[in-house]
Structure 1
Amino acid sequence: MANQVEPRLIKPLYDEMQKERFVTLATIDFETSGPNVSAISWVLAKDDSTLYFAVDNRSRILENINKNNKVVINLIANESTYSIQGEAQLKEERLQDVPLKLALVEVTIREVRDVMFYGSKIVTEVQYDKTYDKNAAEKLDRQVMEAMKKA
């Protein structure tokens, strides 16, 4: 049976991407032309065909996107695993109202593919803990997500 393919986010995925969450981002490395995978958490669905994510404005991710704007975001949600393929572009060099120097990247979604292997489902989603000051982490997370919502 073929995996489901959609041209945009389905509602359960859109809803899941309204809060900070763990995803992986695949880009093409600007030096090696090979795959490069990063874990990020500041990601937001602006609408069902647009994602925003924030990264340090010195990140290799930005150099990679500058040379080749094709990206894939891997999302575990809705009891499955999804590959969200799109084209990325720098939207803001410096995200406003955030104390860190973060860049805002916009991803135009081209395809959302359920890539979970046949006959299985995710029963536990990825969880993580911030390893620095919890209050500072929560405050920064709120600032970043609010700034992305305003963008």
Structure 2
Amino acid sequence: MANEVETKLTKALFDELQSERFVTIATIDHETGGPNVSAISWLLAKDEQTILIAVDSRSRIIENIKENNKAAISLIANESTFSIQGSAAVKEEKLSGIPLKMSLVEMKIEEVRDVMFYGSKIVTEPGYDKTYDKEAASRLDRQIMEAMRKA
């Protein structure tokens, strides 16, 4: 059902954000002032009000959030599309225990909105496949999700 608005994650959305998944994050570009959208997969709902995101420390997302802390995550789940908006900050410049230089971003949720257009539902959620060494990708995914759970 469209136009439902919450100030925190519902139990169903919280559960969806307990494992790696495809989402997009929109930030305000620090150079142009326009929108910047990136696809990410390493995120974790810490609680109903907080989402943790791991991104490469060189990502444009990091500079954008440092300049303007507003962010929105677009999530396809539970037969709908949700916009999760809030204020983001770099919690850790270097996520410990990870071989790559990854930063940890913490987003405090201000609004969760069902943005699916009227009279419709999602019948297939987006999927993706890692195109590099599957074993290395799996190991890195586990390390990052574990580090976020400890944060």
Q: CA deviation at 1:112?
A: 0.1
1:115-139 per-position Cα deviation (integer Å, ceiling 9, x unaligned): 0000000010000000001111000
2:2/2:115 contact within 8 Å kept: no
Q: Quick one: percent identity of the two aligned structures?
A: 71
How far, CA to CA, are the matches of 1:9 and 1:21 in structure 2? Answer: 16
d(CA) in 2 for partners of 1:48, 1:126: 23
How far apart in 2 are the matches of 1:130 and 1:124?
19
2:72 equivalent in structure 1: 72
Asked if 1:143 corresponds to 2:143, the answer is yes
SS at match of 2:90: strand
Residue 36 of structure 1: aligned partner: 36
Superposition deviation, residue 8 in structure 1: 0.3
Aligned match of 1:45: 45
Listed as ranges, the matches of 1:1-151 within 5 Å are 3-151=3-151
Q: Counterpart of 1:135 in 2: which secondary structure? A: helix
Structure 1 unaligned segments of length 5 or more: list them: none
* 1:58 shift after superposition: 1.1
Amino acid at match of 2:33: S
User: How far apart, in 1, do the equivalents of 2:50 and 2:100 lie?
Assistant: 24
For 1:30 and 1:93, the matched residues in 2 are separated by 18
Structure 2 counterpart SS, 1:119: coil
Mapped to 2, the partners of 1:62 and 1:82 lie a distance apart of 23
- Compute the displacement of 1:53 (Å): 0.2
Matched to 1:133, the amino acid is D
In the TM superposition, what whole-angstrom CA distance separates every residue of 1:34-92 from its partner, at most 9, and x where no partner exists? 00000000000000000000001111111000110000000000110000000000100
Q: 1-side partners of 2:66 and 2:18: how far apart?
A: 26
2:141 partner SS: helix
Inter-partner Cα distance in structure 2 for 1:2 and 1:86: 20
| Gap regions ≥5 residues in structure 2 | none
Q: TM-score, normalised by structure 2?
A: 0.98
In 2, distance between residues paired with 1:123 and 1:49? Answer: 28
In 2, Cα distance between equivalents of 1:36 and 1:111 = 19
4+ long deviations beyond 4 Å: none
TM-score, length of structure 1 as denominator length: 0.98
Cα distance in 2 for residues equivalent to 1:97 and 1:123: 38
